[in-house]
Amino acid sequence: MFKKMGIALGVAAMLAAPGLSAKELVYGSWMGANASTNQIALPAYFKLIEEATQGEVEWTLVPGGQLASGPGTVDAVKGNLIDAGTTMAPYTPRELPATNAIFNRTVAGDDVVGTAGAMNELLMLNCPQCQAEFKRNNAVGFAGYNTTPYLLMCKPEVKTVADLDGVKVRASGGGVAVIKKTGATPVAMNPAEATAALERGVVDCVMGSLAWLRNYGYMDIVDYVLDYPLGMAGPPMLMYVNRDAWNAMTPEQRKAHIDNAARLVAIGTIEAQLEVDAEVKDAALQKGITFNTGGDDFAAIMQERTDEQTAEIVEIATAAGVEDIEGLLATYSDLLDKWHGLSQDIGMDVDKFTEALNREVYSKVDPEAL
């Protein structure tokens, strides 16, 4: 109790303090304190920034939605309530329509590293629409990570597509279309909100990464996991930074953030996603959660989604005012092919992934042009 009270008082003091300097930047995360992103990826990055700037820039991480919810992060950053946060475009599609179009493209398979590489190259070097919408919302965005393939974590047992008829599933992005094809009902909410929703029966399943069993406490609620990859979607942006705070930094400080962005993506994808998934699966099995593998009926659903998604995304994005969405999606497909080749050598090596991201993406990003 006293620890929570101390956190709350600390947050209040930060918000009340006039004129926070660049040394005291506040990162408001809607994810829980135990989320692997908050436990592993962001602390490592913030330490690198502090070292690179010789202590001139210090980030304070405030987790658990104390300062902003998932859907509220874009406005919180825009309005200077927080200096940065994790942003998911499907939560704010009107504000981030181009980024949301990327997010809505379901990537089949399980090449987590290759998909993360392609997402970052697309976002940073090939999507001027994305950069323009960040700017319109008084923000700078970089360091998108990739989740592991989405699975179904459920209270009722699901072995086949037929078992999902009438089932309520928390889903977002391209996962919404996948869930609709199964006959289930998609329900929009962020992963943290889904914990109570599962307990109350508002949803029966959550479509998400296996690490969420631990990150959001689903481990104590669900009994079954459908261990079939139902697509990857992203990028969730780890560094969605208030533009005023960004501009208040020196050029050297801004450069330090971009110079270390590749490391953040690599740690955020490999250590905070892939490695955690493996640990969580072992723990779930020991707890008695049943894993069902799925089969050809789910493969057919994923093939339908792959075949149909481009036309659907083009229609929605065009209506939202995104220009040349066909070209953007074509570039994404090319980059997925490119990074699938690169990922074969990278494997699960954080150093190799960092080097590849720096070589292919972040060495080409000018911090002063963001």
- Average pLDDT value for residue range 204-232: 94
* Inter-helix orientation angle 350-360/325-346, to 10°: 140
Whether 196 and 113 map to the same domain: the answer is no
Give dist(CA 282, CA 320) in Å, integer: 43
Whether 124 and 191 map to the same domain: the answer is no
CATH code (residue 176): 3.40.190.10
Express each pLDDT in 324-351 by its tens digit.
999 999 999 999 999 999 999 999 999 9
- Average pLDDT value for residue range 286-294: 96
Please give the residue range of the domain that contains residue 63: 18-146+234-280+309-369
Position 126 pLDDT exceeds 70: yes
Confidence of residue 134 (pLDDT cuts 50, 70, 90): very high
- On the 0-12 / 13-18 / 19+ scale of CB atoms within 10 A, 315 is exposed
Share of the chain above pLDDT 90, in %: 84
Whether 66 and 86 map to the same domain: the answer is yes
Whether 164 and 246 map to the same domain: the answer is no
Residue 100 in any domain: the answer is yes
Position 140 pLDDT exceeds 70: yes
Residue 22 in any domain: the answer is yes
**Collapsed DSSP state (helix, strand, coil) of residue 27:** strand
- For 12, residues 6+ apart whose C-beta sits below 8 A from its C-beta are none
Buried b (16+ CB within 10 A) or exposed e, 198-227: beeeebbbbbbbbbbbbbbbbbebbebbbb
Confidence of residue 173 (pLDDT cuts 50, 70, 90): confident
Longest dimension (CA), the chain: 59
Domain count for the chain: 2
Express each pLDDT in 56-80 by its tens digit.
999 999 999 999 999 999 999 999 9
Residue 96 in any domain: the answer is yes
Give dist(CA 136, CA 75) in Å, integer: 12
Share of the chain above pLDDT 70, in %: 94
CATH code (residue 120): 3.40.190.170
Residue-level pLDDT at 12: 39
Average pLDDT of the chain? 92
Express each pLDDT in 82-106 by its tens digit.
999 999 999 999 999 999 999 989 8
Whether 49 and 159 map to the same domain: the answer is no
Whether 210 and 92 map to the same domain: the answer is no
Whether 39 and 60 map to the same domain: the answer is yes
Residue-level pLDDT at 6: 37
- Average pLDDT value for residue range 281-305: 95
- Average pLDDT value for residue range 121-128: 98
Whether 313 and 296 map to the same domain: the answer is no
Tell me the pTM.
Answer: 0.86
Tell me the HSE value of 54 on the side-chain side, using a 13 A CA sphere: 2
Whether 251 and 160 map to the same domain: the answer is no
Residue 36 in any domain: the answer is yes
Whether 200 and 129 map to the same domain: the answer is no
Position 1 pLDDT exceeds 80: no
Express each pLDDT in 104-113 by its tens digit.
898 988 999 9
Residue 276 in any domain: the answer is yes
Residue 11 in any domain: the answer is no
**Collapsed DSSP state (helix, strand, coil) of residue 201:** coil
- Average pLDDT value for residue range 184-205: 94
- CA dist 304 to 95, 230, 234, 301, 308, Å? 29, 12, 20, 5, 6
Whether 155 and 129 map to the same domain: the answer is no
Listed range (7-11, 165-169, 280-284) with the worst mean pLDDT:
7-11
Residue-level pLDDT at 15: 43
Whether 82 and 176 map to the same domain: the answer is no
Position 2 pLDDT exceeds 70: no
- Return the bridge partners of 87, or none: 237
Residue-level pLDDT at 3: 32
Residue-level pLDDT at 319: 95
Residue-level pLDDT at 23: 77
Residue 7 in any domain: the answer is no
Residue 6 in any domain: the answer is no
Residue-level pLDDT at 174: 78
Express each pLDDT in 303-315 by its tens digit.
999 999 999 999 9
Strand 290-292 relative to strand 25-28, pairing: unpaired
